[in-house]
Structure 1
Amino acid sequence: MRMLFATTALVAASAAGAAQAQDADLALLKAQIQALQARIDVLERQAPVPTAPQPVSAPVAAAAPVIQTPPRKAAAEPIRWENAPRFTDPWGATFKLRGRILLDAVDATARRDGLADYHARQLKARQLFLGVEGQNGRWGYRLEGGAVSGGAWGWDDAIIDYRLDKQTSLLVGNQKAASLEGLTSFKSITFMERGAYGDVIDAGYVLALQAVRTGTNWSLWAALQGDNVNRTDAVGGYAPNQAVERMGATVRATWSPRLSPDDRLHLGVWARRRDRGGETGFTYSAAANTAFRPQASSGATLFSTGAVGDGDTTLGLEAAFVHRALSLQGEAARIRVDRVGTDVSPALGGPNFDIVTGYASASWFATGEMRPYNPNGSFGRIRVAHPLDRGGFGALEFAARYDYADFSDMGANGVATLAAQTGLATAGTYKAVTLGANWYPYAYVRLSGNLTRARIDNRPIAGAELDAEVTIAQARLQLEF
């Protein structure tokens, strides 16, 4: 086709040249022929190559699909501000610094029967913590530690988290597994301290393997537990050749229906079994709402059994109800203490006994905020509706709590004298009332004040009865990021 067009055009050009014999016309016609040939070349290159029709074959079984990993979506926000920058790489992995500063002023007075009155005033850092957290695919981590009450550096959270799916996680590390108040972050609890209940059940951080599954309104927990990650190598508590670390297991279940947009109910139950191994026995004690205990015989620590527990079984109940700005919360636990034998320690040994402890609290936000609830059965950080930087007042909360603990079921043994059984003199009952107020100018800043009045009633031992009335006034400035 190309040669046909070219030949036809050339014949037409020759005829025109012979007829007119003008060089100018011939040159113009040649230029037109060259343009036409260039156009033909372009059209031929763009024309589709014809292919033979394919025969229709009979249907065959579909081959197994080739599974390809879809490309990971790039992060929409490489840097997101959460009171500290959270960095996200193009494939979704995250990293964030975190920390907190809690500065306290505490004044404690104890009027004690049979002993001189006790007075202490402390200005200390309750917590100075730094940490990191992040996520890489299914793997996550959280590491945070620092100094507590002026002590040496130690770790709280030290957790590796593997997510089986959106609802189920496996966690290994220093972590908690029990109690509504215990699992609510220390930064988000209503009062400055967890009170006698938190002290007595001793459900703090331990090195554990834990599985957690959460639903829309429920959660299930199961954990195998050892000792705190900050502990040094276990040494024989009562026998030098028994350097066996304590062990335990905890299960927990919660149900939290959302009754309406303004109402939330929480119900929970948990159980734990522990064995001391070769370590010193478990101690059950409580302080009057303060972490500062400068003397072993101070008014803050006049309530203790001593290291009498060879093992124990704890059953705990949880309940909370939130209606708009009003929050009600309570927990109770019964601890069955398997006491060390008198052959192990005549001063601490004796018959098994029960401990009962619990609390009930109420809080109300005068500025209308509602306590946020987490799917895992705990409460979260307050969301301030009108912070200062937006022309608001911040969030203002008022609260009250009643604490109770009873060690009086602990009995004497028939081996040592009553005076030699040191724990008996301070194994009585504890009752306390705490009033509190919190002001949140921003979501990550909090100013708190607590006033606690506690009454400790102990049994008379050898003509002395170590009863006490304790008054604690506390103030705190808290900042987290």
Structure 2
Amino acid sequence: MRKIFSLTLLAASMMASVAAAQDAPKTDVTLDELKAQILVMQQRLQSLEAKASAPPVAAPAPAKTPAPATTQIKWENSPRFTDSSGATFKLRGRLSIDGVNVNVDRKTTASYKSRQFRARQLFLGAEGQVGAWAYRIEGGAANGSSWGWDDAVIEYKTKSGMLLTLGNQKVGGLESLTSIKTITFMERGPFGDLTDTGFVLAAQATKIGANWSLRGALQGDSINKADVSAGAYDANNAKERSGFMVRGTWAPIMTATDTVHVGASARYRSTGGETGFTYSAAANTAYRPQTSAGGVLLSSGAVGKSDTTVGVEGAWTHKAVSLQGEVAQIKVNRVTTAQSAANGGKDFNIVTGYALASWFPTGETRPYNPGGQFGRIKVLHPIDKGGMGAYELAARYDYADLSKMSPNSVATLASQTGLATAGTYKGLTVGVNWYPYSNVRLMANLTKAKINNRLIGAVQNDANVTVLQARMQIEF
């Protein structure tokens, strides 16, 4: 096609030349002139063929306008924002409102009654992640006190999967690490009070496998504690408490419906220059005052200079049924009588533990994760889907023994105040929980406890304690 076009142009050119020659005045044309004209025409033909065979020049593509960066929003009881780089941000919080009724019947001292309506917790916070770095911060008012922090940590995840965290955090054990938002009962009971494994400033390393976990931490004191300029027994020794803790767990069975969990933990801590550790417990409530003086009926006083706690834990779940328990021994190294005549004396051991059982008539299962913790219940039939929510029935037995604490020979028995309440605790708690949604829970607990203390002179601080509690809780 291109050659036909070129020949057509050549023919037209030759015809035009002939016509021009005919119209022009006749002149003599030499052979050399005719050869020169033919040569010019051949050059024109080659030029036309080259242009016809060349590929067409493409028009320049219009410049692309970069797509605007998008932020994804996922609803997790509050919005979680994720930008195009993968960074996330989410608000979090919880609110729990309690009603508490306490009856304390004692033998040789006055009985005590109390009824309170209170905000157990009102917490707000946020969490987020930027690359391998993450943060979590949450604080608020608890038990009518001033603002304080629970979680306040910065996390870094290494390429090997180890999680390094720095801030206010927990290390163990099973019931302590399981959030108060998801534990079976309203409070952790005497075991949680005595082992005291709550939030403290720590540098922690955690490694979690498919069905196991291992964590260890160097620990200090709570982030909420104000700096002090003087020590308790030595004004020039203003060191705050410190220690370390390790915990390991293993789940030989871990499926959607069945779990077998075993674990162990150990902790050593020292008071530094602070007042001695106090080992005290209340009957299944954070509402601790159970005497007219605002104290509790099971307490050693500030006797611990340092302590070593060793604990073992276990849990079993099968569909809607679960069992769980922990036992710990606390070896207390007491302050000296030179430091405190009222609290000093020989070292002694504390033993404490609990065992609980839970059943969901509505068929839910307590979710377990490889980190050695139980998580939030997933309601199978929430009320907004036409269901009745989830119901849970539970019972727990608590035990604590402080009776191994002995008197010293420096002070009178009456002045060694901790002896009068360093006895034994046995208690039974029953509870019912209703979850209309996974993040909303209504709870009721009834505790019957018996405290046996030693007779000091004419004072016998034995007591029978009844605690009735109710709670409405929402978290996001």
* Class of the TM-score when normalised by the shorter of the 2 chains: 0.7 to 0.9
What CA distance in whole angstroms lies between the structure 2 residues aligned with 1:299 and 1:278? 27
Alignment check: 8 A CA contact 1:363 1:399 kept: yes
Alignment check: 8 A CA contact 1:112 1:299 kept: no
Alignment check: 8 A CA contact 1:300 1:470 kept: no
Q: Which of these residues, 134, 149, 153, is aligned with residue 147 of structure 2?
A: 153
- Paired position in structure 1 for 2:63: none
- Paired position in structure 2 for 1:182: 176
Q: Which of these residues, 66, 80, 92, is aligned with residue 98 of structure 1?
A: 92
SS where residue 384 of structure 2 aligns?
helix
Please say which structure displays the higher CA radius of gyration: 2
- Paired position in structure 2 for 1:256: 251
Give the count of matched residue pairs.
Answer: 440
What CA distance in whole angstroms lies between the structure 2 residues aligned with 1:419 and 1:157? 41
After superposition, give the CA deviation of every residue in 1:68-124 in whole Å (9 maximum; x if it has no partner): xxxxxx999710000100000101000000000000000000001211110000100
Alignment check: 8 A CA contact 1:162 1:169 kept: yes
Alignment check: 8 A CA contact 2:317 2:323 kept: yes
- Paired position in structure 2 for 1:394: 389
Q: Matches of residues 241-252 of structure 1 in structure 2 within 5 Å?
A: 241-252=236-247
What CA distance in whole angstroms lies between the structure 1 residues aligned with 2:183 and 2:52? 78
- Paired position in structure 1 for 2:379: 384
- Write the letter of the residue equivalent to 2:288: R
Q: Which of these residues, 349, 359, 364, is aligned with residue 359 of structure 2?
A: 364
Q: Taking structure 1 as the reference length, what is the TM-score of the superposition?
A: 0.87
Q: Which of these residues, 212, 222, 227, is aligned with residue 228 of structure 1?
A: 222
- Paired position in structure 2 for 1:477: 472
- Paired position in structure 1 for 2:37: none
1:171 aligns with 2:170: no
What CA distance in whole angstroms lies between the structure 2 residues aligned with 1:141 and 1:464? 52
SS where residue 409 of structure 2 aligns?
coil
Structure 1 stretches of at least 4 aligned residues deviating more than 6 Å after TM superposition: 4-7, 15-21, 37-40, 74-77
- Paired position in structure 2 for 1:70: none
- Paired position in structure 2 for 1:54: none
- Paired position in structure 2 for 1:456: 451
Alignment check: 8 A CA contact 2:215 2:247 kept: yes
SS where residue 187 of structure 1 aligns?
coil
Matched residues, percent identical?
Answer: 58
Q: Matches of residues 73-152 of structure 1 in structure 2 within 5 Å?
A: 78-152=72-146
Q: Matches of residues 287-298 of structure 1 in structure 2 within 5 Å?
A: 287-294=282-289
After superposition, give the CA deviation of every residue in 1:443-470 in whole Å (9 maximum; x if it has no partner): 1100000000010000000122100000
Offset at 1:15? 6.5
SS where residue 194 of structure 2 aligns?
helix
- Greater shift, 357-366 or 297-306, is seen at 297-306
Q: Matches of residues 272-283 of structure 1 in structure 2 within 5 Å?
A: 272-283=267-278
Offset at 1:328? 0.1
Alignment check: 8 A CA contact 2:282 2:290 kept: no
* Structure 1: unaligned runs, 5 residues or longer: 22-36, 48-73
What CA distance in whole angstroms lies between the structure 2 residues aligned with 1:458 and 1:252? 33
- Write the letter of the residue equivalent to 1:335: I
Are residues 419 and 42 of structure 1, via their aligned partners in 2, closer, same or farther at CA, if it must alter by over 3 Å?
farther
What CA distance in whole angstroms lies between the structure 1 residues aligned with 2:6 and 2:393? 102
Offset at 1:420? 0.5
- Write the letter of the residue equivalent to 2:425: Y
Offset at 1:385? 0.7
* Structure 2: unaligned runs, 5 residues or longer: 21-46, 58-67
What CA distance in whole angstroms lies between the structure 2 residues aligned with 1:403 and 1:295? 18
Q: Which of these residues, 299, 305, 308, is aligned with residue 303 of structure 2?
A: 308
- Paired position in structure 2 for 1:10: 9
Offset at 1:291? 1.0
1:44 aligns with 2:61: no
Offset at 1:14? 5.3
1:412 aligns with 2:381: no
- RMSD over equivalenced CA pairs, Å: 2.5
SS where residue 188 of structure 1 aligns?
coil
Offset at 1:166? 6.2
- Paired position in structure 2 for 1:468: 463
Are residues 7 and 368 of structure 1, via their aligned partners in 2, closer, same or farther at CA, if it must alter by over 3 Å?
closer
What CA distance in whole angstroms lies between the structure 2 residues aligned with 1:299 and 1:143? 32
SS where residue 257 of structure 1 aligns?
strand
- Paired position in structure 2 for 1:284: 279
Offset at 1:290? 1.1
Q: Which of these residues, 428, 443, 453, is aligned with residue 433 of structure 1?
A: 428
Are residues 38 and 174 of structure 1, via their aligned partners in 2, closer, same or farther at CA, if it must alter by over 3 Å?
farther
What CA distance in whole angstroms lies between the structure 2 residues aligned with 1:459 and 1:176? 34
- Paired position in structure 1 for 2:36: none
Offset at 1:293? 2.8
What CA distance in whole angstroms lies between the structure 1 residues aligned with 2:172 and 2:69? 35
After superposition, give the CA deviation of every residue in 1:28-62 in whole Å (9 maximum; x if it has no partner): xxxxxxxxx99964741459xxxxxxxxxxxxxxx
Are residues 19 and 175 of structure 1, via their aligned partners in 2, closer, same or farther at CA, if it must alter by over 3 Å?
same
Offset at 1:8? 3.3
- Paired position in structure 2 for 1:59: none
